[in-house]
Structure 1
Amino acid sequence: MKIQEEVKETVKKALGKMNNKIDQVVWVGAGGSFGGFYGANYFMEQESKKISSHMFTSGEFIYATPKNIDEKTLVVLCSMRGTSETIDSAKVAKKMGSTTIGLYVDESGLTETCDYIIKYDSLALDESRIDRVNASIGICVAMNLLNEVEGYDHYKAAMAAFDVLDPMYRKAVEYTTPLAKEWAELNKNQKTIYILSSGPTFGAGYIFSICNLEEMLQLNAPTVHSYEFFNGPFEVTDKSKSFFQLLSTGRTRPEDERALKFEQRFGGKKLYVLDGKEIGLDDLEPHISEYFNHPIFSSILNNVYMRQLSYVIHEDFNTRRYMWKESYK
């Protein structure tokens, strides 16, 4: 079964359980599972007139549960192996009367707790299909939810786009690998890399920072919004700094281009640009292209750029200093 069909079926079941009465959708997760929902949340914020959309880290959802979480709330949670806080978040959501959908790789307390579950492919595995990674499924949930409740004019084109995501990604890997090798060589002694993005790519930039560069390679990697760059962070710009600018396709691209123009004026040779137009996103219809920025960018950043930097700095990206080793409960 195609992922579009599985998601459509699951969303219909969830709405049926809610008697088709829904006021809001809430996206909950931790780390990359949280960041992976940026694309889905962005889509709902832009396209839905009736359903409000919000994102919460698992811990925040537990300790500061919004009072409006109720039977008219759909809570979508994600955890690869069953992060304890995400499992507890699902229990809180159920206690508040909400309907829950859990995205997972390995079965855990999350799959036992949620009303409905969808298995996804780990983004980090080369054999995984990009239309089946957590970020893509989150976006598919959002698109089907909107279509079922309000109707979505570009639904057919959006569902067809999932069929070309994986081939688009494979082609982008081939294109970016030699570029990533050059970038990695230039940055092999850099201890801090600034990641700039906005709109539909902000989640991909966030994950690249906290999960890829900081967690996996133990480098400093501040995440900077392309517009907010001019409200403080641009003061650190000089020719010694390393900037990694994501250029999205879609309506917020001018924010990214404005930041890039400044970086080109005052930055140095360690300024790098990854443009969505160069990695296939412009091949999608304009009215849906921006909503697929996240899964393509995030997959390329993790599997090409992070890996190439790992190779040149001789840092095994599978090792951790504290995660799964030290107690942090």
Structure 2
Amino acid sequence: MEIQEEVKKVVKKAITKMKRQGGIRQVIWVGAGGSFGGFYGANYFLEQESTKLFTSMCTSGEFVYAAPRNLDENTLVVLCSMRGTRETVISAKIAKERGASTIALYVDESALIKISDYHIKYESLALDESRIERVNGSIGLCIAMNLLNEVEGYANYDLAMKTFALLDATYRRAVKYTTPLAKEWAELNQTEKTIYVLASGPAWGAAYVFSICNLEEMLQLNSPTIHSYEYFNGPFEVTDKGKSIFQLLATGKTRPEDERALRFEQRFGGKKLYALDGKEIGLDDLRPEVSPYFNHSLFSSILNNVYMRQLSSATSQSYETRRYMWKEEYL
């Protein structure tokens, strides 16, 4: 079964159930680390397209300690965890106790899918054999698009669903294109200890995941994530020719923010300034009505599987090593 059809069936079931409770009023996306950041595309889509559904994101830890007061039977909580992160499981319990409906995204079965009303299995974007329309960020976006279509209608729904089928081939072409570029970037940064990552709009979530999961967690490098507009409200003061800056250029409405940041970086940055353009990785090959919403799916996969891996190779730092994660007590 295509993932689009699987998601459509799950969303229809959730919406039908919630109609008996007064209907759906809001969606909350909950996760930890990459599972949290992966929902950014879904949340961004609803912020841009919905006039009736309130949407928000919350880390699993914050949901446990400070769940929103308006969490109730008119709320759909969508949770994601590859293996059943403790706080994400507790978040599902809290959501259920407050009467909310829940959908869980998972790779390995855990208590999360036993607690949640509905569940969808996803494929890890870190595996070369995984299809990009089936990774967590893509499924989250598909859920958001189906929710919008069910609740208030989405004019580009059919086009968007067809676009999911194009993602994997687009990604494979982008891998071939970016691999030699990423190798050059990695060799230039093989002794760098801090890499600044900038983005905005539909690419912001990919920048966040690249920083905290790829560079900091996997390669133990310092990596501040900076919004392209907020760059001019403080962070641009650290720009100089010695800094390593990685700028994402999103496609869509907020692209001028990224272009403005890049122009300044080109004036005052140095040889370690690097820009990865969404147009280069195939987003402009998708129909403009929907292509901006697929920034996260393509950027995140390329950053993880091409740029992070090339930097790992150049630094001889295995991306499978950890200092604390799964080794030290941090519950």
TM-score class, shorter-chain normalisation, is over 0.9
Q: Could you tell me which residue of structure 2 aligns to residue 39 of structure 1?
A: 41
Q: Could you tell me which residue of structure 2 aligns to residue 119 of structure 1?
A: 121
Q: Could you tell me which residue of structure 2 aligns to residue 247 of structure 1?
A: 249
What CA deviation, in whole Å up to 9, does each residue of 1:234-255 have, x standing for no partner? 0000000000000000000000
Equivalent in 134, 137, 146 of residue 135 of structure 1: 137
Question: Residue type matched to 2:235 in 1?
Answer: P
In 2: Cα distance, 1:14 partner to 1:274 partner: 38
Q: Could you tell me which residue of structure 2 aligns to residue 264 of structure 1?
A: 266
- The SS at the match of 2:245 is strand
Unaligned 5+ runs, structure 2: none
Equivalent in 225, 228, 240 of residue 227 of structure 2: 225
In 2: Cα distance, 1:293 partner to 1:253 partner: 11
What CA deviation, in whole Å up to 9, does each residue of 1:207-239 have, x standing for no partner? 000000000000000000000000000000000
Q: Could you tell me which residue of structure 2 aligns to residue 206 of structure 1?
A: 208
Q: Could you tell me which residue of structure 2 aligns to residue 76 of structure 1?
A: 78
Q: Could you tell me which residue of structure 2 aligns to residue 7 of structure 1?
A: 7
In 2: Cα distance, 1:64 partner to 1:315 partner: 37
What CA deviation, in whole Å up to 9, does each residue of 1:179-218 have, x standing for no partner? 0000000000110000000010000000000000000000
In 1: Cα distance, 2:56 partner to 2:63 partner: 11
- Whether 2:161 is the aligned partner of 1:159: answer yes
Report deviation, 1:120: 0.1
Question: Residue type matched to 2:314 in 1?
Answer: V
Question: Residue type matched to 2:154 in 1?
Answer: Y
Question: Residue type matched to 2:134 in 1?
Answer: R
TM-score by length of 1: 1.00
- The SS at the match of 1:27 is strand
In 2: Cα distance, 1:63 partner to 1:262 partner: 41
Q: Could you tell me which residue of structure 1 aligns to residue 218 of structure 2?
A: 216
Q: Could you tell me which residue of structure 2 aligns to residue 184 of structure 1?
A: 186
In 2: Cα distance, 1:286 partner to 1:125 partner: 29
- The SS at the match of 2:205 is helix
Report deviation, 1:286: 1.0
- The SS at the match of 1:295 is helix
* Equivalent residues, number: 329
- Whether 2:282 is the aligned partner of 1:283: answer no
Unaligned 5+ runs, structure 1: none
Report deviation, 1:95: 0.3
Q: Could you tell me which residue of structure 2 aligns to residue 195 of structure 1?
A: 197
What CA deviation, in whole Å up to 9, does each residue of 1:60-104 have, x standing for no partner? 001001110000000000000000100000000000000000000
Query: Structure 2 matches for 1:34-113, cutoff 5 A?
Result: 34-113=36-115
What CA deviation, in whole Å up to 9, does each residue of 1:125-144 have, x standing for no partner? 00000000000000000000
Q: What is the CA RMSD across the aligned residues, in angstroms? A: 0.5
- The SS at the match of 1:75 is strand
Q: Could you tell me which residue of structure 1 aligns to residue 236 of structure 2?
A: 234
- Provide the identity percentage: 73
In 2: Cα distance, 1:200 partner to 1:108 partner: 31
In 2: Cα distance, 1:281 partner to 1:156 partner: 18
In 2: Cα distance, 1:71 partner to 1:287 partner: 33
Question: Residue type matched to 1:15 in 2?
Answer: I
Q: Could you tell me which residue of structure 1 aligns to residue 19 of structure 2?
A: 19
Q: Name segments (4+ residues, structure 1) moved above 6 Å.
A: none
TM-score by length of 2: 0.99
Report deviation, 1:285: 1.2
What CA deviation, in whole Å up to 9, does each residue of 1:277-308 have, x standing for no partner? 01100011112111000010000000000000
